[in-house]
Each structure stands twice: as structure tokens, then as C-alpha cells.
């Protein structure tokens, strides 16, 4: 692998994805960033070279996957520079396999990473929990947390913050976990959260997410607790919108061309989708900047849904302007992409 690549990604927004072999690292990447069907990941081949996934939302993020059989402490390998350049380290533990080895391996990696780069975020995915029963999940998590703590204590590293997530690629838990991991790397997160808080206070919104349209990871949400079901509904709503829109996109474009052949080319409309449900709940999606979309669940609670929507539209427009401003100021040299 080229070390030049790492230096190019000058920001700290890179995540290292590590774990023992056959832990499910490539599957996670494929499902998250390539919309692969979870069942198809059964046929993935073993990864033998470090691979990078670039993923650009509000921040430019790169996820680097390291093969499991790699020995990071081989002197020839430039792991010091690598660990210094990343913002987060995600370690995948297969919960359905014997995980003692994995924990020992994890402790060694943490020791090294912490020595080189004390600011690194350490995240542990207790993966493949779809096959475990509810009780067993809790047991496994407690056990893994405890053992990791013991290992770290032995190495004299009891102060290190390690976050644990129960994940599976067959439901939305992996998206949720990655959302939280990515959020830790976004420096503007607190502003975003405040802005969304403001938005939902003033427009009868119950919950609002800023989604990355392609990966369905949410970059930010308001400060009320995230209900995983609510997240699922919103993520699926993004899918519905994109799929239906794509079906008729071509015919629409032809139409537009016929009509506006001489006129100035209209700027492409931003995606917007509003759905009303039986009990007056409204799901609202609007495209924001840089491949992000705001998805909100609006509960009118007796008020007129039309006026609720108008207020929401107005407020969302202001939010969008706010995002644009934050984005303009956040980058010293923005790469004009929108």
C-alpha cells in the first residue's frame, strides 16, 4: 500500500477497520457503502490487501480495511504513521466465534494505537449478533466488555475510552453504530445538533435526521434519544424516495429536454418527498447540501397538516442556508463540489 495516500487525506477523518480474519469487515464495507444485499456478502473472498473506501458527506471520510491476517507489528510495516493519521479505530469481534483471541489482539492494538496517537477513538463492534438470542446478546456484550477491561488493566491502560456496539448486517444496527462512529469525527457536530434542535422545536417535528443518501448513515440528529425503529423508518423512506424517483427520472428528463431545448437549462430540482400516514403523521424528506438529506417525522397533534408543512418548509430552508454557511466556513480550502 502507498503511504502517500494517507498523507493526502490530511484531515483526521479516516477510520481504520480491523479485526481477526473472517470477522465480517469486508461485508460491513460492502453493505454500508455499496448497498450490497447482506446475503450476497456470504460469497465475498478473503481480503488480502488494505483497501480504502472513500465516502464523502459533510466531511470527507475514508474507511481503510486491513486484512485480518496482517501482523501490524512487523517492523517493515509503517503502522506508526498509519495509526497517527487516523481519527478512529473500529475493531470487529465476531460474537458467534471464540472471541478470547480477538480480545487479546484488540488489547495489543489499543496499546499500540494509544501510544502513537492518544486522541484516537476506539470503537468495538460486537458483530454478527443477529444469530444470538436477546439474553445471549447482553451476556456476550457484558463478557466482552469485562474481559477487554481486564486485558487493558493488565497493560496499564485503564483510562482508555472504548465504546461497544452490538451490530449485525442483517438489520439497521450496523448503520446506527457507524453513524455514531462517524459523528465523533465531525468537528461541527455540536452546531449541527443545536441547529436540528432548533428546527424541531419550531416545527412540530418529533425527530429529525441528516442522512447521507448513499450509505444511509446519519451524520447528525437532534438531541432527543434515537429510537431504532424511527431510524429504520426514516432510512427506508430514503430508499423509497430514491427508488421511485429513479423509475421515472429518464422520462422526465426527456420531457424537460423537449420543452426547454431553447430555454436555459433549469437547475435540477432538489429531491423532496412528503408522505402522510393514516394517523396524520408526516414523513418529510428534503435534499440538503453534499449528498445529505433531511428526514423528519412530523406529528401535527391536531393542527392542520398543511400549515405544519408550510412552517416546516420555511424552517428547513433556513436550516439549509445554515448548513451551507457552516460548510463554507469549515473548510479553509473548499473543493467546490456542489
Partner 1 sequence: MSTNNRKKLLLMGRSGSGKSSMRSIIFSNYSAFDTRRLGATIDVEHSHRRFLGNMTLNLWDCGGQDVFMENYFTKQKDHIFQMVQVLIHVFDVESQEVMKDIEIFTRALKQLKNYSPDAKIFVLLHKMDLVQLDKREELFQLMMKKLQETSSEYGFPELVGFPTSIWDESLYKAWSQIVCSLIPNMAIYQANLKELQSVMDACEIILFERSTFLVISSSNATNGESLDPKRFEKISNIMKNFKQSCTKLKSGFKTLVINDNIYVSELSSNMVCFIVLNNSDDCQQMVLENIKKAKQFFQ
Stretch binding partner 1 (CB under 8 A), from 82-90, 93-101, 135-143, 226-234:
226-234
- What is the closest distance, in whole angstroms, from the C-beta atom of residue 239 to partner 1 in the complex? 8
Q: Which stretch binds partner 1 (CB under 8 A): 51-59, 152-160, 247-255, 317-325?
A: 247-255
Sole binder of partner 1 in the list 182, 237, 290, 298 (CB under 8 A) = 237
Tell me, by CB under 8 A, how many residues bind partner 1.
Answer: 33
Supply the DSSP symbol for 299: -
Integer angstrom CA distances of residue 171 from 32, 42, 96, 235, 293:
12, 16, 17, 11, 21
**Backbone φ, ψ for residue 42 (5° rounding):** -60, -30
Kindly state the smallest distance separating residue 322's Cβ from partner 1, in Å: 23
Does 264 participate in binding partner 1 (rule CB under 8 A)? Answer: no
Q: Does 136 bind partner 1 (CB under 8 A)?
A: no
Site for partner 1 in 143-202 (CB under 8 A): none
Binding mask 281-320 for partner 1 (x = CB under 8 A): x-x-------------x-----------------------
Host H or E run for residue 106: helix 100-116
Burial of 334 (0-12, 13-18, 19+ CB in 10 A): exposed
* Minimum separation from the CB atom of position 208 to partner 1 (A): 15
Task: Sort residue 61 into left (φ over 0), alpha (ψ -120 to 50) or beta.
Answer: beta
What DSSP designation does 267 have? P
Task: Give the containing element (helix H, strand E) for 115.
Answer: helix 100-116
Question: β-strand 88-94 against 121-127: which pairing, if any?
Answer: parallel
Min dist CB 249 to partner 1, Å, is: 10
- C-alpha 67/C-alpha 51 separation (Å) is 9
Q: Is residue 276 near partner 1 by the rule CB under 8 A? A: yes
Interaction residues for partner 1, span 19-48 (CB under 8 A): 39
Phi, then psi, of 18 in degrees rounded to 5: -130, 170
Q: Which residue from 233, 311, 326, 330 is in contact with partner 1, where contact means CB under 8 A?
A: 233
Residue in 2, 250, 302, 332 binding partner 1, rule: CB under 8 A = 250
Which residue number, 248 or 314, has a Cβ lying nearer to partner 1? 248
Sheet holding 162-166: strands in order across? 51-56, 60-65, 14-19, 88-94, 121-127, 162-166
* Piece in contact with partner 1 (CB under 8 A), picked from 80-88, 265-273, 314-322, 324-332: 265-273
Under a CB-based contact definition with an 8 Å cutoff, are residues 305 and 214 in contact? no
Decide if residue 272 touches partner 1 (CB under 8 A). Answer: yes
**Footprint on this chain of partner 1 (rule: CB under 8 A):** 39, 229-230, 232-233, 236-237, 239-241, 243-245, 247-248, 250-252, 254-255, 269, 271-279, 281, 283, 297
Amino acid at each position: 500500500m502507498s503511504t502517500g495516500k494517507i498523507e493526502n487525506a490530511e484531515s483526521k477523518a479516516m477510520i481504520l477497520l480491523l479485526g481477526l480474519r473472517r470477522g465480517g469487515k469486508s461485508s460491513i464495507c460492502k453493505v454500508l457503502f455499496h448497498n450490497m444485499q447482506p446475503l450476497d456478502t456470504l460469497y465475498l473472498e478473503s481480503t488480502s490487501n488494505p483497501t480504502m473506501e472513500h465516502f464523502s458527506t459533510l466531511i470527507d471520510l475514508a474507511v481503510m480495511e486491513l486484512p485480518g491476517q496482517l501482523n501490524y507489528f512487523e517492523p517493515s510495516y509503517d503502522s506508526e504513521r498509519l495509526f497517527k493519521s487516523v481519527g478512529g479505530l473500529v475493531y470487529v469481534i465476531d460474537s458467534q466465534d471464540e472471541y478470547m483471541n480477538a480480545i487479546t489482539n484488540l488489547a495489543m492494538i489499543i496499546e499500540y494505537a494509544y501510544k502513537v496517537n492518544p486522541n484516537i477513538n476506539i470503537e468495538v463492534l460486537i458483530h454478527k449478533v443477529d444469530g444470538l438470542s436477546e439474553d445471549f446478546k447482553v451476556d456476550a456484550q457484558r463478557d466482552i466488555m469485562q474481559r477487554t477491561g481486564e486485558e487493558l488493566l493488565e497493560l496499564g491502560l485503564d483510562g482508555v475510552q472504548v465504546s461497544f456496539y452490538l451490530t449485525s448486517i442483517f438489520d439497521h444496527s450496523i448503520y446506527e453504530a457507524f453513524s455514531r462512529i462517524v459523528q465523533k469525527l465531525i468537528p461541527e457536530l455540536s452546531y449541527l445538533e443545536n441547529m436540528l434542535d432548533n428546527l424541531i422545536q419550531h416545527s412540530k417535528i418529533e425527530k429529525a435526521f441528516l442522512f447521507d443518501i448513499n450509505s444511509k448513515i446519519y451524520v447528525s440528529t437532534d438531541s432527543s434519544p434515537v429510537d431504532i425503529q424511527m431510524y429504520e423508518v426514516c432510512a427506508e423512506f430514503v430508499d423509497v424516495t430514491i427508488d421511485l424517483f429513479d423509475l421515472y427520472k429518464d422520462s422526465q428528463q426527456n420531457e424537460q429536454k423537449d420543452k426547454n431545448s431553447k430555454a436555459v437549462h433549469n437547475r435540477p430540482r432538489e429531491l423532496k418527498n412528503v408522505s402522510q400516514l393514516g394517523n396524520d403523521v408526516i414523513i418529510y424528506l428534503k435534499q440538503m447540501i453534499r449528498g445529505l438529506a433531511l428526514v423528519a417525522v412530523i406529528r401535527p397533534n391536531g393542527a392542520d397538516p398543511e400549515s405544519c408543512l408550510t412552517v416546516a418548509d420555511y424552517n428547513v430552508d433556513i436550516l439549509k442556508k445554515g448548513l451551507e454557511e457552516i460548510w463554507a466556513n469549515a473548510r479553509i480550502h473548499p473543493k467546490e463540489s456542489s
